[in-house]
Structure 1
Amino acid sequence: MKTMISAAISVCILAGGAFAAYQLNDRWNAPVVQADSKLSVPGDASDKSNETKDLKELIRESQKRVVSIQATYSDGTGIGSGFLYNDKGDIVTNAHVVNGAVNVMVKSSDTSLYSGKVIGMNEEKDVAVVRVDALAGQEPLAYDKVTKAEVGDEVMAFGSPLGLENTVTTGIISGVDRDFDLEQTKYRGVYQISAPITHGNSGGPLVMKSTGKVIGINSAGEEIGTIGYAIPYHQVAAMIEDWSAHPDEELAAGSTSEEAGSVEGYTKDLMTENAMYLVNYFYESLNGLDYVTAYSLLGSDWQSRTSYDKFREGYLNTLSVTVESIAVNSATSESAEVSVLIEAWENKDGERVISTYSSNYFVKPENGTLKIISGKGKKL
């Protein structure tokens, strides 16, 4: 595991003619950990405002284009975040996430793992681009390379804090034009944000709530408290565009070493973590009425036996779902069995009723992508 670079520096910030001191905790590379995850609490759909629905939809659509980056260095491994920038399969992230990496793997929201190569990097600006050929043609996350955010603007920070993929936190732009140096990086005119970010968030997108577009790159945060910093996207947009148009082939070759041991298979621990995440993601998609994504997580045999229309029809009367508990009963490097207890608000003859279900799912890789192969459930 690459040692997390920690630095305690005094950052002098000009604000209203006074200086405030900050101790910056830096560059985030940390091992993946596990945590319980709950979906949204069920409630009366009629009580949800259009704004709330739109926000949830914005979060779900953005999460599909945010990735976790697993980098292998000569002295260990680390994790960061990134987002799909264009239809070439280019991922924007922080330079400190991939700097010195001899192998780069990118994990998408459905746990698929892809090999990547660094095609552009600037340590001083702390920005890099990773190209993932397998993601070419995918719809990217929208970005805004013109707008300069102002104090009070509401934002959302996406990424994989502490290895917890598909995480989003909310807050505001709490300061602008913050300057500080950290090793080779000179952060100039960056955003200060109140949205909590921590180890693993590095490289993830900062999205403006009002537009749904990327306005910054989450890069650093305080050891204590909820102060984070993000690089304004307008500062680095031209650099990113140039790398995408003119990839650095030498840099790319150095980040795709076969000797580094690419993540082709699963360990028992990785299978355990990803299988639990996948089942959670399945129910999260159902809860958001995103039947297309939920159906895509099923194995080919399940899909051959159940058409998409039939699958969708089975959930049309389900108003919302809450995962009450989830556990991996058994796991190997090749498969896992996941048990889950859910509560579902359903429409029964025009009335809202709540039901509890217990289900077991068998999860394993299929053509390189983790899938829910089969499942059995019963109403309690």
Structure 2
Amino acid sequence: MKKQWLISCFTTILIWSAGVYAFTFIKESVPNQLNTQSTILTSEQIASNEISAAAEPKEMKEIIRETQKRVVQIELANDSLGSGFLYNDQGDVVTNAHVVAGSTDVQVKTTDNREFSGKVIGISENTDVAVVRVDGLKGMEPLQVSREKHADIGDEVLALGSPLGFQNTVTTGIISGVGRELELPPYHYEDVYQFSAPIAPGNSGGPLINRHTGEVLGINSAAADQGSIGFSIPLPNVIALMEGWSDSPMTTLPNIVEDADDDVLKEETYLDEDLAQYLINYFYESINFQDFVTAYSLLGSSWQGNTSYESFREGYLHTESVLIDELTIIIEDDVIVTATITAKERSNGSYTNSKYKVTYTVGYENDQMKILSGTGEVLD
């Protein structure tokens, strides 16, 4: 009997001991495992959300609206001009070296017509890049810039700037070549993008933007004499140079002498033919963009006085796109631009292509070139 009692007691103690151990193990280990699993899950969710947010494309109009706030027009004492864009929160604006060459102080104008003084804090003698510090823009959120990723052929892009003095201009195109090399003394362009968005003098220093993300891919720097071919310096190639000047501004700027015969986008003089051609291209680019406000603003006061904005807009609501097939310019007493265009128009749910011959008289109002009048006829 005593032996059975001892066995029973021993068994009871063993069971209690096992229970206490199991309780302690569960109390200390299981919550830690649950917390670890919860943390891992939360991290994966956060990473997934971040990837989704980064990959999510933006609406083009949203990208343009946000980008334009951070693109500026740079004006020099000799009345030449170029473009630039805010790349950090110190008020530093990136532009081309040839835009600010020979200058220490410049004026900067924002899209809402605010004007600030800027000081050149860095400029290269052989790479066409410079940085201007604008204290009035300090603290403003900059554009997102590409530090590592390069663009590929076929990527859709936007070019922003002030071509021929038309501030806040946006044109569209694609990356049509990569790894291009140009020698335009004193600047050497290596591994640059070739793109198809139309640019002109005044675009220099403006950003080349990824059409889907709004990220700055490059600095628009030069254009070919013929066709819509532009060249842009990739941001990853010069970001270290830019940041070096921002961290340690130059105390003495080099004296840069440019070759007057090169093809860099010169800002000093514009021919009426160039202005007129760009004006008409910009007009139809705005129509294709459905930016009727900008297109209407390019009309002269007399035309606007006879045609309300609502009527003007109504006339293009069913136009899907306009392609300029041929354009000629004759300068007599006035500048006469004649163009043959193909318009893709919507009617009864379907699209048709119609050809027109349009003739515009172009001239100056308040020192700015406008489309003063125009006529059109349908071609068979």
Q: TM-score, normalised by structure 2?
A: 0.52
Q: Check conservation: 2:344, 2:351, Cα contact below 8 A.
A: yes
Match for residue 230 of structure 1?
234
Is 2:376 aligned against 1:372? no
Q: Check conservation: 2:121, 2:246, Cα contact below 8 A.
A: no
Q: Check conservation: 1:116, 1:130, Cα contact below 8 A.
A: no
Greater fraction of residues in helix: 2
How far apart, in 2, do the equivalents of 1:346 and 1:53 lie?
A: 27
SS at match of 1:364: strand
Match for residue 122 of structure 1?
122
How far apart, in 1, do the equivalents of 2:118 and 2:86 lie?
A: 14
Match for residue 16 of structure 2?
none
Change in CA separation of 1:323 and 1:149 when aligned onto 2, cut-off 3 Å:
same
SS at match of 1:280: helix
Shift of 1:291: 1.0
SS at match of 2:316: coil
How far apart, in 2, do the equivalents of 1:52 and 1:344 lie?
A: 29
Shift of 1:203: 2.9
SS at match of 1:279: helix
SS at match of 2:370: strand
Stretches of structure 1 that go unaligned for 5 or more consecutive residues are 1-50, 110-114, 176-181, 252-262
Match for residue 170 of structure 1?
175
Change in CA separation of 1:306 and 1:272 when aligned onto 2, cut-off 3 Å:
same
Change in CA separation of 1:358 and 1:199 when aligned onto 2, cut-off 3 Å:
closer
How far apart, in 2, do the equivalents of 1:306 and 1:217 lie?
A: 39
Change in CA separation of 1:143 and 1:155 when aligned onto 2, cut-off 3 Å:
farther
Greater fraction of residues in strand: 1
Match for residue 347 of structure 1?
346
Q: Check conservation: 1:67, 1:159, Cα contact below 8 A.
A: no
Shift of 1:127: 3.9
Q: Check conservation: 1:93, 1:128, Cα contact below 8 A.
A: yes
Q: Which amino acid aligns with 2:175?
A: T
Q: Which amino acid aligns with 1:273?
A: D
Change in CA separation of 1:155 and 1:169 when aligned onto 2, cut-off 3 Å:
closer
Q: Which amino acid aligns with 2:284?
A: Y
Matches within 5 A, 1:184-223: 192-195=191-194, 203-217=205-219
Q: Check conservation: 2:122, 2:245, Cα contact below 8 A.
A: no
Q: Check conservation: 2:96, 2:219, Cα contact below 8 A.
A: yes
Q: Which amino acid aligns with 1:230?
A: P
Shift of 1:364: 1.2
Q: Check conservation: 2:156, 2:173, Cα contact below 8 A.
A: no
Shift of 1:228: 7.0
How far apart, in 2, do the equivalents of 1:359 and 1:60 lie?
A: 31
Deviation string 1:226-264 (CA, Å, 9 cap, x unpaired) is 997434475466678799xx9x9x99xxxxxxxxxxx99
Match for residue 85 of structure 1?
86
Change in CA separation of 1:294 and 1:121 when aligned onto 2, cut-off 3 Å:
same
Q: Check conservation: 2:86, 2:93, Cα contact below 8 A.
A: yes
SS at match of 1:149: coil
Match for residue 98 of structure 1?
100
Q: Give the number of the structure whose alpha-carbon radius of gyration is greater.
A: 2
SS at match of 2:371: strand
How far apart, in 2, do the equivalents of 1:375 and 1:131 lie?
A: 44
Match for residue 359 of structure 2?
360
Q: Which amino acid aligns with 1:148?
A: E
Considering Cα pairs closer than 8 Å and 6+ residues apart, tell me whether 1 or 2 has the greater RCO: 1
Match for residue 288 of structure 1?
289
Shift of 1:195: 3.4
**94-103 or 196-205, larger mean C-alpha shift:** 196-205
Deviation string 1:49-87 (CA, Å, 9 cap, x unpaired) is xx99967996899799878989899xxx9x99533439x
Q: Check conservation: 2:218, 2:233, Cα contact below 8 A.
A: no
Q: Check conservation: 2:322, 2:341, Cα contact below 8 A.
A: yes
Match for residue 14 of structure 2?
none
**53-62 or 313-322, larger mean C-alpha shift:** 53-62
How far apart, in 2, do the equivalents of 1:199 and 1:377 lie?
A: 27
Match for residue 143 of structure 2?
143
Matches within 5 A, 1:245-256: none
How far apart, in 2, do the equivalents of 1:66 and 1:211 lie?
A: 16
Q: Check conservation: 2:335, 2:362, Cα contact below 8 A.
A: yes
Indicate the RMSD between aligned Cα atoms, in angstroms. 5.9
Stretches of structure 2 that go unaligned for 5 or more consecutive residues are 1-55, 224-229, 254-266
Q: Check conservation: 2:320, 2:345, Cα contact below 8 A.
A: yes
SS at match of 1:346: strand
Match for residue 320 of structure 2?
319
Change in CA separation of 1:235 and 1:100 when aligned onto 2, cut-off 3 Å:
same
How far apart, in 1, do the equivalents of 2:141 and 2:156 lie?
A: 15
Change in CA separation of 1:191 and 1:340 when aligned onto 2, cut-off 3 Å:
closer
Q: Check conservation: 1:91, 1:131, Cα contact below 8 A.
A: yes
